[in-house]
Structure 1
Amino acid sequence: MPTLHARRPRLLIVGCGDVGLRVLRELHGRLPVLALSSSPARAQALRAAGALPLLGNLDDPASLARLAGLADWVLHLAPPAAQGAEDRRTLNLLRALARSPRTTRLVYASTTGVYGDCAGARFDETRSPRPATDRARRRVDAEQRLRWFGASLGVRVSILRVPGIYAWDREGGHPRERLAKGAPVLRREDDVYTNHIHADDLARACLAALARGKPQRIVHACDDSELLMGDYFDLAAELCGLPRPPRISREQAREQMSPMQLSFMGESRRLDNGRLKRELRLRLRHPEVNTGLLAGA
């Protein structure tokens, strides 16, 4: 856990889902935390986790007025809307924060999908984004707005580009669920490199970025593993005592899989996480998926 300010800053978590709740667990009450949620039904769970719930909807700018001048630090974990090439939710959030500037640090969880297909290349954060889907274009739009916001108002903005998040206790976020359904993966000659981060390590990366992130800086929030997707699922099957997934060709995948599944299987890259270790000084609890996959089982 990084050393925090002597005067405890007030943290606002926007989009306090699974990763946000893990951030709260890592904090152990050491910061006053507000959590923005559009669902009144989540208020009790957020209070139990140690946050003061705030009702607001990123799609409704009027509901965000109370955020002005409210928090020193902001952790933005909310995804964009499901349509369009712009992220209006991030725009609405930044407009609300700018009305009464108090925020000095902001961390945004983006996605490594902004790079598009890189044909298995290994690279660092200096590579330019080439988004191939509207989903990734919305993330690029959010990143650009956030960096402009930081540079214009003197806010230290850190952007974490996040790959596949997994954890045993993360709903829909562990390969055993896919393996149990017998879902196929690509044969080796068609396979792609994928990147991963354990959800607990991502929560710690968020806190490290709040404490140590450089202004307007992009950081790969990923572990050290470099695995083809099929090898990742084979390893998970071995560790969990499940059958290995069937292998199919890319042509067969086009017939059997949804467009979203195909988009993940059409992008191959290997990410350098040097900045995560050098600049944020984060020591991963699960640097390889072979330890993280069974953690908490």
Structure 2
Amino acid sequence: MNLFCFGLGYSAEHFIKAYGDQFDTIAGTARSHYALERLGDPRVSGFMFDAERADPEIAAALTRADALLVSIPPDISVDPALAKFGRLLSQLPQRLRIIYLSTIGVYGDRAGEWVDETRVPAPKQPRSIARLRAEKAWQALAKDDRKTIQILRLAGIYGPGRNALVQLKNGTAQRVVKKDQVFNRIHAADIASAIAAALAYEGANDIWNVADDEPAPPQDVIAYAAKLMGRAPPPEEDFETAALSPLARSFYEENKRAANGKLKNELGVALAYPTYREGLNALWDAGEGR
């Protein structure tokens, strides 16, 4: 199987590290030479791709692909991969398995209620509206009988180098408290497992929530990380007066609990880190935050 990744970012990198040996060839795109060098995997052929430029060899690589992992965020009006290569992808004669990494943000604010894949999306944030639009565009491409698409709606991503332990060490952690606010999370290793399972899935086009078992208040996660580090957690800050960037503040405008039963029961994914506690324990044991 030949894999092509639109976006050799954090999630794709962890997937390739865990499952790269299953592919005959791996190719993908990045927005900078630095990103390609950081990946540092000799198995991966990297190509530059952004809004202004596209390596001319990408088209040839796509004609060889039979698995496509898409993790590039959409622009407000268009998915960049489809804008540039949609026609080529639609004309490929081979069977193509597409995995599109989306977000549970497409469900919008649900006032803390549980949402599963049957819930009709109702995004309000521009970034989530764009995600839902991109989902539909990729689904339209996959109406061709030669293609299948599995949409993975990811919760908040954490893992090596991106977690509460690192934030505490760097002095950037905040314990922002908003009444009844919870977030789901998902470890990068569990995202990799979900991608692998979706690629192996023989069913029809589908959608899967990729989230942990326990949506939790964000201040509790920081407190647990601080306990592992043997230090006092930062003081609690009221959401209304906390110093947050507009982007960070926007995440608190939505409150939901993402159900993952379909992921586990139908796709067969066994989460290595079902809650933030197992995930942070493993990261601490691996030396994170020290």
Q: TM-score, structure 2 length as denominator?
A: 0.87
User: Contact 2:112–2:180 at 8 Å: present in 1 too?
Assistant: no
Instruction: Indicate the SS of the match to 1:193.
Output: coil
Instruction: Give structure 1 stretches of 5+ with no counterpart.
Output: 1-8
- Which whole-Å deviations, capped at 9, do the CAs of 1:55-87 have from their partners, x for residues lacking one? 444654684433442200101122224xx2433
Q: What does residue range 206-225 of structure 1 map to in structure 2 within 5 Å?
A: 206-212=195-201, 214-225=203-214
Structure 2 residue 231 is the aligned partner of structure 1 residue 237? no
Structure 2 residue 32 is the aligned partner of structure 1 residue 39? yes
Structure 2 residue 18 is the aligned partner of structure 1 residue 21? no
Match of 2:279 in 1: 292
Distance 2:264 2:88 in 1: 33
Distance 1:288 1:237 in 2: 16
Relative to structure 1, is the Cα distance of residues 94 and 47 closer, same or farther in structure 2, using a 3 angstrom cutoff? farther
User: Contact 1:47–1:53 at 8 Å: present in 2 too?
Assistant: no
- Which whole-Å deviations, capped at 9, do the CAs of 1:217-270 have from their partners, x for residues lacking one? 1101111122122222222222232322322333213xx222111111121111
Find 2:246's aligned residue among 248, 259, 271. 259
Relative to structure 1, is the Cα distance of residues 71 and 182 closer, same or farther in structure 2, using a 3 angstrom cutoff? closer
Structure 2 residue 72 is the aligned partner of structure 1 residue 78? yes
Q: What does residue range 48-67 of structure 1 map to in structure 2 within 5 Å?
A: 48-57=41-50, 60=53, 63=56, 64-67=58-61
Aligned amino acid, residue 278 of structure 1: N
Instruction: Indicate the SS of the match to 1:23.
Output: helix
Match of 1:186 in 2: 176
Distance 2:212 2:244 in 1: 27
Instruction: Give structure 2 stretches of 5+ with no counterpart.
Output: none
Relative to structure 1, is the Cα distance of residues 85 and 116 closer, same or farther in structure 2, using a 3 angstrom cutoff? farther
User: Contact 1:166–1:197 at 8 Å: present in 2 too?
Assistant: yes
Q: What does residue range 168-187 of structure 1 map to in structure 2 within 5 Å?
A: 169-170=160-161, 173-180=162-169, 181=171, 183-187=173-177
Match of 1:135 in 2: 127
Structure 2 residue 129 is the aligned partner of structure 1 residue 98? no
Instruction: Indicate the SS of the match to 2:143.
Output: helix
- Supply the RMSD in Å over aligned alpha carbons: 2.4
Match of 1:161 in 2: 153
Distance 1:288 1:203 in 2: 16
Match of 2:257 in 1: 270
Relative to structure 1, is the Cα distance of residues 48 and 123 closer, same or farther in structure 2, using a 3 angstrom cutoff? closer
User: Contact 2:6–2:81 at 8 Å: present in 1 too?
Assistant: no
Distance 1:207 1:72 in 2: 14
Match of 1:198 in 2: 187
Relative to structure 1, is the Cα distance of residues 259 and 103 closer, same or farther in structure 2, using a 3 angstrom cutoff? farther
User: Contact 2:224–2:277 at 8 Å: present in 1 too?
Assistant: yes
Distance 2:35 2:238 in 1: 43
Distance 2:148 2:15 in 1: 19
Aligned amino acid, residue 8 of structure 2: C
Distance 2:228 2:87 in 1: 47
User: Contact 2:93–2:146 at 8 Å: present in 1 too?
Assistant: no
Distance 2:176 2:37 in 1: 43
Deviates more, 1:178-187 or 1:234-243: 178-187
Instruction: Indicate the SS of the match to 1:294.
Output: helix
User: Contact 2:184–2:211 at 8 Å: present in 1 too?
Assistant: yes
The structural deviation recorded for 1:47 is 6.0
Distance 1:115 1:242 in 2: 36
Relative to structure 1, is the Cα distance of residues 45 and 148 closer, same or farther in structure 2, using a 3 angstrom cutoff? same
